[in-house]
Structure 1
Amino acid sequence: MTLRERARKHGISTAYDGRTVPEATLRLILDGLGSAKPVAPATMEVPGDVACHLPEGRGWGIFCQLYELRSARQWGVGDFADLAALATVCAKAGADFLGINPVHALFTAEPDRASPFSPSNRRFLNPLYIAPDLLGCDRPSLPSGDLVDYAAVASAKLRALRQRFDAGVDDGALDAFVASEGRDLHLHALFETIRHLDLPLPDDPEGAAAHAIARDRPQDVRFHAWLQLVARQQLHAAQKAAKGAGMGIGLYLDLAVGEAQDGSATWSGAAAALPGLDVGAPPDMFSEQGQNWHLAAPSPTDLAARDFAPFRAMIAAQLRDAGALRVDHAMALWQLFLIPSGRPAAEGAHLRYPMRDMLRVLAEESQARQAVIIGEDLGFVPEGFRDAMNEANVLSYRIVYFEQDDVGFHPAKSYPEKALACLSTHDLPVLAAWWRGDDIDGRQEHGLVSPEATRQHRAHRRKERRMLIRALDVTADAKAETLPDAVLDGAHAFIGATPCLLAGVRLADLIGPERQTNRPGTTDEYPNWRPRGSVPVDAIADHPVFSRITALMRAARPRSE
């Protein structure tokens, strides 16, 4: 059997978009899979008994980035207390859910690694979202600019929280939490301890060197475990506030597609990672060189051998305090694009995953928690994938910007029922910035596309403005420099009128910030994941645009009593 035949047998693509996958890439993936029997399915067929929980009736909700929230009591970044307050505001406005960015554990020893989509460990939470004032900590002086200063926030919060921990905590509650979370929590806390001590990370998390650090620094390890307990308690309180205020779903969390290569999940073995391979995306219109997300790629054979226990534990952790979960890059249930570390993205290949088994785990956890699952199915979507997700009751993620063809934007009535409709997401501009073409200018500014592509994109955006006005059936000037109110209102009326079970309103479309949350293809060249809002949480309910759009959504999708 040739190398390419072996690769295809294991679900590895040998070519894509007219590109031939290098033999070195195929060999690297095959070596990582080992000699185990292939587990990749030949088809996307979904068993009839696999189905996620669905919402009751047509609802709507609001999305935001948690860190962008602003309040007088917070410590320079939106936190779980702000989340609880905003959930109450949104519930009173008629919303059924409040969606936020992933709140996975990042790297508290390296706070400027701020992307919520490059987590250290998806099973645990980001302690920087803890509200220290709820623990009696006095608020220090912190920067209050338009960008989050993660280094200043981390320094202040971790110092105050350590003082609070050293002063004495409920040891019984912490002991019970540590026991319930088991080995994974211990290794994550140990990883955080090692990183803060700036010690070399032992190769073996169960080896003598790792055990020696845990033995010598037990209070440090216990402190990082306590941070997870507090974060979990405060997230739970936010979900309780959302449901108590009348939301049918409550919090809507976001699941990153993977974990950082140098994070605690990869180090501890929880990520079940394939060596020498990064998750990314092939070249496309947003990045002509492709994208390397530098995330660990789980081994499908390892997951199958462990009866998908790591995947189940991670999904269960997301749904513990949420009524909905958005699965970023949901095509990962079927395949991932893997890139040899240090090589161009164009040298990558797609690897198939045991989708039926992973969907079964997802559905079982969804039904156990009565939680809705939304699959972010954007970009390259394999033929038949959306049909399979529809059968499994995983809602499609339909963004108005993308629902178009050469004729125009698709009419609202054409949207599927099992879907969430929204205008944009974190990787895209808010509607006002889209209207101006800020995203096009940004891609050119950072050299992500050629000058010729930029000219084509600008010409198409002018056409898109006209097509959007026609699709919304509103009266507006397509040549207006700033977004007409009629287009903003019409766009929200449009998503409200779709047959989709859920519709999502982006908070930044209503109150800012207008600056793009994340610019794909950039790292330090752009302040990704840092822009803050200007309207305090306690003033959002009275903001005129918030009031106007939420009233429109209530009329389109009244809450069932």
Structure 2
Amino acid sequence: MSQTPTDAAFDSAVDDWGVQHRWLDAADEVHEADADTVRRLREAIGTPPADLEDRAPVVTRPGRELGLGRVQVRCEDGTEREVDGRLPEDFPLGYHRLTTAAGMERRLVVSPGRCWLPDEPTWGWAVQLYAARSTRSWGIGDLGDLRTLRELTEAAGGGFVLVNPLHAVAPVVEGSSMEASPYLPATRRFRNPVYLRVEDVPGHEPGDVDTARRDAVAATDLVDRDAAWALKRAALRAAYDRSGGADSAFAAWRDEQGEPLEEFATWSALAEALGAQHGIDWHGWPTELRDPRGDGVATWRAEHAEDVGFHAWLQWQLDAQLRAASGDLIVIQDLPIGVSGGGADAWAWQDVLAEGVSVGAPPDALNTLGQDWGSPPLVPWRLRAADYEPFVESVRATIAGAGGLRIDHVMGLFRLWWIPEEGDARGGGYVRYPSDDLLDIVALESHRAQAVVVGEDLGTVEPGVAEALAERRILSYKVLWFEDDAPSSWPREALATVTTHDLPTVAGLWTGADARDQLDATDMPEDDVRSGREELLSRLTREPLDDGAGPADAVQAAYRQLVEAPSLLVALSLEDAVLEERRPNVPGTTERENWRIPLAVPVDRLGDSPEVGRLLDLVRAAYGG
């Protein structure tokens, strides 16, 4: 029998490893974690050192009690301050070091506790950048296309663009393909050079590319990342060899980025050099090259300095092109919940990640079988022991140069669904994270970058999450397909949208094409798919549609509701604008053309599309444009 337990009962259900033994599902039914699952999660977590609490970082806010007695603080700017008890209200925000009376040194993170927010509501586009091809693209949407979309948005009176994760994946080598999912990157700190507009790179010459091959790749029905990258890499390496390595501005930027960039560039060069023989997963590399801080890697880096330099230079170009593409518009970048276990961040932070488990989600309305996303989780106590640096660097890098951050599955900052190896998503369990610290770090990075933060809080959301996000001014996520209440009643501090990359497009829902797609691509029961479609249709047709209404009429009906939302950000899906029936991703399958479907209308011709024009007219009327 299901019941709602008291808060105290749930608090006591979390053991010393942080494993939650009881939890509520999306239907408010209580579940007990399987004993064998608990055992395996404990093994993966391990036991923290006895002195962890004496040296773990202190995350706080001005005016709060430190509880450490008299301490000396060395601030970021090099100044020294003494604090006795309460942190002064005027204490500088940032990342400092404190030393206790006993001589123990710890990181001190001082956060404002609240994220930056724009003053007025605005609207913008949600786009999968790889899909946003133009007549100039080399088979995949790029940062030049993002610039075009930004200019279109500005001209129409919009205020932001929301893009899929732009993070780097493993390079393509013989026997491998580029990872298609933006949510399983090799790193959350550096970007994917496949998004570079090659013609805008200094040193590029037209003769560096085979135009016949480029035109063939640009004409493919699906996005072919491997072919696009093969063309781009050859041209980019030629440009680097011609002028990149000797550029003094690049040298200065590279020096400013420090060891994280060198580590990533080294991993990229290693993956290219070793991939054909040993694979792109670092676990299969020669032993001396598995430790990024070992002598073997240092020697290899020195011997392959030009290759390492090339990969660092690609990141410099990406930084410049993203800033140019963003201009003064807010570009909200997406932070995935994790990374590939064989990738760059897992190589760099292998001592912080758990082995033998992956993260995902329990069964819910999005997927009745649950989901396994394939990423190894950060071990909470190891993350603290690392001064939260893996999290800090990931958040900061994803915000950089654009002005906004969307945190995918923001509930993962509170607890994550860990799935033991060789099991399925239904057999996982929740592990708790130090959410107060992580959220305050997000607030600090938002404050420094003057960047809006959105928390994707869809699925199984435990009590207290909404309140914690609201306290930090992290915008919640309101999706028409999931909300019982009309958009006019949605909160101000939210991002409002009709759908997401994992959910049906309006046209796909209306025609039934999406339901057929789900049934063909997944093992979801037909009754679940059909009942799910009926529920979404009921939300689409709050205002009844005529019997002969087509997809364009359905899109207008959905967005007439959406623009009534008082939310600070209202996102329009480009897939909906061009009447695409296929959603970008159907969760639970790798067989379908997930993450490879291009927009039917080139980005530089969106202004000529009557369907896009009708949607823009509707939005401009709502916003007084």
Q: TM-score, normalised by structure 2?
A: 0.80
1:272-287 aligned at under 5 Å gives the runs 272-287=352-367
- Contact 1:513–1:532, Cα closer than 8 Å, also in 2: no
Q: Are 1:231 and 2:238 matched, yes or no?
A: no
1:21 maps to 2:33: yes
CA drift at 1:6? 9.6
Q: Secondary structure at the match of 2:431?
A: strand
Q: Please state how far the C-alpha of 1:5 moved relative to its aligned partner.
A: 8.0
Secondary structure (helix, strand or coil) at the match of 1:420 reads strand
For residues 610 and 253 of structure 2, what CA distance do their matches in structure 1 show? Answer: 44
Report the counterpart of residue 82 of structure 1 in structure 2.
145
Report what 2:252 is aligned to.
176
Question: For residues 134-153 of structure 1, what are the structure 2 equivalents within 5 Å?
Answer: 134-135=200-201, 136-138=204-206, 139=209, 140=211, 141-142=213-214, 143=217, 144-153=219-228
Cα distance in 2 for partners of 1:435, 1:301 equals 47
Give the counterpart of 1:420 among 495, 513, 516. 495
Amino acid at match of 2:309: R
The structure with the larger Rg is: 2
Identity of aligned residues (%): 34
Matches within 5 A, 1:441-460: 441-450=516-525, 454-455=526-527, 457-459=529-531
Aligned to 1:407: none
- Whole-angstrom CA distance in 2 between matches of 1:323 and 1:24: 44
Paired amino acid for 2:308: V
Q: Note if contact 1:146-1:534 (Cα within 8 Å) is conserved in structure 2.
A: no
Alpha carbons of 1:476 and 1:188: their partners in 2 closer, same or farther (altered >3 Å)? Answer: same
Greater alpha carbon shift after TM alignment, 24-33 vs 538-547: 24-33
SS in 2 for 1:337: strand
2:513–2:581: 8 Å Cα contact kept in structure 1? Answer: no
Measured in 2, the distance between the counterparts of 1:184 and 1:467 equals 47
Query: Which of residues 186, 189, 193 in structure 2 aligns to 1:123?
Result: 189
Are 2:112 and 2:447, in contact at CA under 8 Å, matched by a contact in 1? Answer: no
Flag the 1:464–1:154 CA change in 2: closer, same or farther, 3 A: closer
Deviation at 1:440, TM superposition (A): 2.4
Instruction: Confirm or deny that 1:490 pairs with 2:503.
Output: no
- Aligned AA (2:263): L
Extract unaligned runs of 5+ from structure 1.
41-46, 405-409
* Aligned AA (2:597): P
**Partner SS, residue 323 of structure 2:** helix
Cα RMSD (Å): 2.4
Unaligned runs of 5+ in 2: 1-10, 57-63, 65-110, 279-283
The question of whether the paired residues in 2 share the 8 Å contact of 1:259 and 1:271 is answered with: no
Distance 1:494 1:171, change over 3 A: same
Q: Name the SS of the counterpart of 2:140 in structure 1.
A: coil
Looking at structure 2, the residues matched to 194 and 464 of structure 1 have their Cα atoms a distance apart, in angstroms, of 47
Letter of the 2:306 partner, please give it. Q
Give the C-alpha shift of residue 302 in structure 1.
Answer: 1.9
Tell me by how many angstroms 1:475 deviates.
4.4
SS at match of 1:503: strand
List aligned pairs for 1:82-481, cutoff 5 A: 82-109=145-172, 110-135=176-201, 136-138=204-206, 139=209, 140=211, 141-142=213-214, 143=217, 144-169=219-244, 170-197=246-273, 198=275, 199=278, 200-201=284-285, 202-240=289-327, 243=328, 247=329, 250-269=330-349, 272-404=352-484, 410-450=485-525, 454-455=526-527, 457-459=529-531, 461-462=533-534, 464-469=536-541, 471=542, 473=543, 475-477=545-547, 480=548
Question: Partner amino acid for 2:483?
Answer: E
Distance 2:132 2:192 in 1: 16
- Matched to 1:327, the amino acid is I
Give the TM-score normalised by structure 1. 0.89
Instruction: State the AA in 1 paired with 2:609.
Output: H
With over 3 angstroms needed to count, the CA separation of the structure-2 counterparts of 1:6 and 1:556, relative to structure 1, is closer
Structure 2 CA distance for aligned equivalents of residues 489 and 226 of structure 1: 45
Amino acid corresponding to residue 518 of structure 1 in structure 2: N
What displacement does 1:542 show? Answer: 2.4
Retained in 2: the 8 A contact 1:15–1:349? no
Listed one character per residue, the Cα deviations across residues 128-175 of structure 1 (whole Å, up to 9, x for unaligned) are 001111123435323212201111111111111111111122432222
Instruction: Tell me, yes or no, if structure 1 residue 511 matches structure 2 residue 578.
Output: yes
CA offsets, 1:25-45, max 9 Å, x none? 3334334242347989xxxxx
Secondary structure at 2:19 match in 1 = coil
What number of residue pairs does the alignment pair up?
Answer: 529
Instruction: Read off the aligned partner of 2:324 and give its amino acid letter.
Output: A
Residues 276-303 of structure 1 show CA distances to partners (whole Å, capped at 9, x for unaligned) of 2211111334444322111121122122
1:11 aligns with 2:86: no
Pair 1:54–1:33, CA change in 2 (3 A): farther
Q: Which has the higher mean CA deviation after the structures are superposed, 116-125 or 493-502? A: 493-502
Letter in 2 for 1:71: S
Of structures 1 and 2, the one with the larger relative CO (CA 8 A, separation 6+) is: 1
Contact 1:271 1:310 in 2 (8 A): no
2:606 match? 540
Structure 1 residues 239 and 12: alpha-carbon distance in aligned structure 2, compared to 1, 3 A threshold: same
Give the direction of change, closer, same or farther, for the CA distance of 1:178–1:272 in structure 2 (3 Å limit): farther
- Mapped partners of 1:301, 1:9: distance in 2: 11
Deviations 1:391-429 (A, max 9, x none): 11010111100112xxxxx12232111111100011112
Q: Is the 8 A contact 2:349 2:390 kept in 1?
A: no
Aligned residue type for 1:75:
W
- Matches of 1:462 and 1:357, distance apart in 2: 41
TM-superposition CA deviations, 1:223-278 (whole Å, max 9, x none): 111111111111111112xx2xxx4xx21111111111111001111783122221
Question: In 2, are the aligned partners of 1:7 and 1:26 still within 8 Å (CA)?
Answer: no
1:60 aligns with 2:67: no
Provide the C-alpha distance between the structure 2 equivalents of 1:23 and 1:8, rounded to a whole number of angstroms: 13
- Whole-Å separation in 2 of the counterparts to 1:5 and 1:466: 40
